[in-house]
Amino acid sequence: MTDQGTIWLTQEAYDKLQAELDDLRGPKRQEIIEKIAAARDEGDLKENSGYHAAKDDQGKQEARVRQLEDMLRRAEVGETPANDGIVEPGMVVTAKIGGGAAEKFLLGARENLSDGDDLDVYSPQTALGAAINGKSKGDTVTYTAPTGKEFSVEIVDAEPYKA
């Protein structure tokens, strides 16, 4: 079970995020600094669209750096869970929520998904995630959604996510 605020990541996902952070702090940051300096040299900053675009890019990049630093600080790195039918972070869960059709989703963090994988992701800290975490295939549980409405969830299957 993860603590509130913990993000479960595979080692591969952690390494990918760390590499992105290193790139943003190093070469990408230097690129932005050079763009700002070049635009500043063009003159009047009030009407210099290149300067304003570079400053906007810098702001977005620095926000991503802060996001990555926070995620990596809170990360719990683990191996792919065992294929034992027990729901835990890193598992692809097939569940019938509220008696509807079966839905498939990853319990964990979006950063664990391979590029191009459009699987829905639920954090273990969500109401649904907390309700099913530790349950087994065939179990039915109820949880209260943030809206106050109660839902029943039947766990149809749980298997480790494969990138």
* pLDDT, tens only, 25-44: 999 999 999 999 988 888 77
Of 144 and 10, the one with more pLDDT: 144
* Assessment of whether the complete model's pTM goes beyond 0.75: no
Q: CATH number of the domain at 38, please.
A: 1.10.287.180
Residue with tokens 């591969």: 12
Angle at which helix 49-74 crosses helix 11-25, to 10 degrees, equals 150
Contact 3, 71 (CB under 8 A): no
Determine the pLDDT at residue 154. 95
CA distance 139 to 154: 6
Structural element, H or E, at residue 102: strand 102-107
Domain of residue 51 covers 7-77
Boundary residue ending a domain (56, 77, 98): 77
Span 81-93, mean pLDDT? 88
Q: Tell me the pairing of strands 150-160 and 120-122.
A: unpaired
Determine the pLDDT at residue 7. 81
Are residue 41 and residue 12 in the same domain, yes or no? yes
- 34's CB contacts (< 8 A; 6+ apart) are none
Are residue 155 and residue 86 in the same domain, yes or no? yes
Give CA 142 to chain center in angstroms.
25
Beta bridge partners of 141: 153
CA distance 9 to 67: 15
DSSP H helix total and E strand total for the chain: 4, 7
Q: Give the count of domains, the chain.
A: 2
Boundary residue ending a domain (37, 61, 77): 77
Boundary residue ending a domain (51, 77, 103): 77
Q: CATH number of the domain at 135, please.
A: 3.10.50.30
Asked if the model's pLDDT at residue 2 lies above 50, the reply is: no
Span 53-59, mean pLDDT? 93
Compute the mean pLDDT over every residue in the chain, rounded to the nearest whole number. Answer: 88
| 126 domain-assigned | yes
Determine the pLDDT at residue 1. 37
